[in-house]
A and B are shown apart, each in its own frame.
Chain A
Amino acid sequence: MAGRAQIPTNNSSLIAMIADEDTVTGFLLAGVGNVDLRRKTNYLIVDSKTTVKAIEDAFKEFTAKEDIAIILISQYVANMIRFLVDSYNKPVPAILEIPSKDHPYDPSHDSVLSRVKYLFSAESVASERR
Chain B
Amino acid sequence: MSGQSQRLNVVPTVTMLGVVKARLVGATRGHALLKKKSDALTVQFRQILKKIVSTKESMGEIMKTSSFALTEAKYVAGENIKHIVLENVQNASLKVRSRQENVAGVKLPKFDYFTDGETKNDLTGLARGGQQVQLCRAAYVKAIEVLVELASLQTSFLTLDEAIKTTNRRVNALENVVKPRLENTITYIKGELDELEREDFFRLKKIQGYKKREMQRQLAAAKQFAEEQFAEKVSLHKGVSINTAHNLLSAAAEKDEDIIF
Contacts and interface: CB of A to CB of B under 8 A. Distances in A.
Q: Which of A41, A89, A116 has the most CB of B within 10 A?
A: A116
Interface stretch (A51-59, A77-85, A97-105): A97-105
B125 interface: no
**Chain A binding surface SS class:** mixed
A83 B109 CA distance: 25
A4 B150 CA distance: 23
A30 B57 contact: no
Interface in B115-155: 115-116, 119-120, 133, 136-137, 139-141, 143-144, 147-148, 150-152, 154-155
B81 interface: yes
Interface residues on B, range: 35 or more
Contact of A30 (B53, B60, B64, B144): B144
A121 interface: no
Interface residues of A, number: 51
A95 to B, nearest CB: 8
16 contacts: A7-B159, A9-B100, A12-B97, A13-B95, A14-B92, A26-B66, A26-B67, A29-B136, A30-B143, A34-B91, A35-B90, A69-B98, A98-B63, A98-B147, A105-B60, A112-B52
8 closest cross-chain pairs (CB), A and B: A34-B92, A30-B140, A31-B93, A33-B89, A105-B60, A94-B151, A7-B109, A124-B53
